[in-house]
Structure 1
Amino acid sequence: MRTLAALATTAVTAVALSASLLPSAALAAPDAPTTTVTSDTSERAAKTTFKLKRSAKYSHYGQKGVKVTAIVKNGSRPAKGKVKFAVAGKKKTKKLKKGKAAYRLPKTLAPGTYKVKVKYRKMTRKTKVKVQNSLLKVSSVAFTISKATNSWDLPELSGTVRFKGNAPDFGYVDMYQNGNFKGGNGSSDYCCMTPVRQGAFRFYGSTFLGKVQDKPVGTYKYQAFYTPTASFSEYIHSAFITVTVTN
């Protein structure tokens, strides 16, 4: 019989021979986790987001139009390239700057609702903008007055207001030099105001031109603004009114 020592020696020898037959990599210690390096291809393939933003839902006929802004991103980065705007049969191409491109609708658009179509590469977005049927019209846009004339003999300025398609029986028309309405009646360019009734208003001679008459000889420009409330949160304005003061 074999002794226990002989059996142990035989077993150790067998294990050693088996290990020598295995590939060396099988006996090596496990490597650290492999790090995958992402190439620029993944950034180019990042999801493109494209949306539109309006400065307002509507504008008033003859006033500054609504601005539509396209915002385009490739992943988290601003996109580059050009954006095409189309409205009322007219097209305009704008270059993206920091992922944004804006187009302001012309103030010449007639009252109505317009679909604005914006295209970036093969992607298209649409929005709607309304132009309100609003208008402030004055009886005259040019006056020449003399400082020697009695204020009650000066001509009056009248006009009509159409606001969102209606002749309002509320609100006010304020007169501002150079059209500078900022600051409201606290502005140094504020002249005077009168109420609107049944879509009409009137500045008597002494109310408007009488105040301009007090200024030095020269030529001045004014603009009438209609506001439905005293807050002046929304308004429409007239054409400029030229007043020449002589001796």
Structure 2
Amino acid sequence: MSGYHFYTDLAPYWPLVSSPGEYAEEAAFAAALLRTSEPPAGDGAVDPAARPTLLELGSGGGNNAAHLKHEFAMTLVDLSPQMLAVSAALNPECEHLEGDMRTLRLDRTFDAVFVHDAVEYMTTEDELRSAVATVFAHCRPGGVAVLVPDHIAENYEPGSDHGGTDGDDGRGLRYLAWSHPVRPGATTATTDYAFLVRSADGSVSVAHDTHVLGLFPRETWLRVLAEAGFAARSVAEVTQDDRLPREFFVGSRPLPDARG
């Protein structure tokens, strides 16, 4: 994951690839699901003015956090220190930690846990199970988790995309993304990225990444969440964008049985 050009030497160019404004609608939809956690169990007083805590795994350049931080007290975790540096510049008020969503253990829990499209780098069911175990370990009883892959097996479509823009400092970036067809029953999909990168001195370089992403059916997502201990459901995104709605997987961690 962290070895890709996208997330290492090209990380400082991330704001030229994707801006926080592009995430506003999706972040608002996620926030509505993330705020569905139940109050903590027990008789301890809860400060009504305190913001709920939110752990984001695979937080990347922090574009989702730029919106969510206004409602949640956020801890952001990513495998790439370069992407964390980009996020820290955008979201200096948030806690930033380097870590792998498959193995991270912070020894604390949060009101909610959010995993955006970085979860797609789980390319086997075992890796997905490890990531979901991390989500469950950091979600308090009564809390909620929201996981948002860009694609699931039922809605994957091959195709191409392009974008990029120029910065005020003379830098610029343009990219082409090419998502390839998959065989029936395949559990991974491949996207090739080509980048043209202009440095502030005007020199232009070329980079290429091949990203292999997990592609699991809805049933697998729901089963893995349930096996981890969540009450799991799937929610279809409501979007005004000209694309297929994403599938939001929501896991609620049950409160302890009061009869126990």
Name the TM-score, length of structure 1 as normaliser: 0.25
Instruction: Point out the structure with the larger strand share.
Output: 1
> Relative contact order (alpha carbons < 8 A, sep ≥ 6): 1 or 2 greater?
2
Name the TM-score, length of structure 2 as normaliser: 0.24
